[in-house]
Amino acid sequence: MTNDYLAFAPISPLVPASPATGLLDEMMARVGVDGIVAALADPGLLALVDQHAAAVRDALDSAGREADAEGLAGYARAIVAGARRMSRTLPEPGEAPVTCADWQAADWHLLRLVAICMLAEQNNAL
């Protein structure tokens, strides 16, 4: 993944994308859609993603931040940066795990990003 993930083009001239929603859209394309679909199909995986979501909410609350587009995107940036420091990669859009078993075995940072995407969807931050 390159540093280009921080620059986003508007969706259309009428609906400009903010950097925060652009990053969340990218995370949704990379891991969110497939991860959320898998979680909704497997109660154990959903519980695991819910635990990650609770940790995200707690971290944002402790930092005095909202679970809105800006807060969630900032948290996602920190997860991506940490993953890079540990030489972990993010799947390209369409290359994320698709089975529940693969998601159960996924790296921590991928599950945390799925939780961020789930919160973004729940909070209408996309």
Residue ranges in the chain modelled with pLDDT below 70: 1-17
Residue 19, pLDDT score: 81
In SS3 terms, the chain reads as: CCHHHHCCCCCECCECCCHHHHHHHHHHHHHHHHHHHHHHHCHHHHHHHHHHHHHHHHHHHHCCCCCCHHHHHHHHHHHHHHHHHCCCCCCCCCCCCCCHHHHHCCCHHHHHHHHHHHHHHHCCCC
pLDDT, position 3:
40
Give the pLDDT score at 1: 39
pTM (predicted TM-score):
0.85
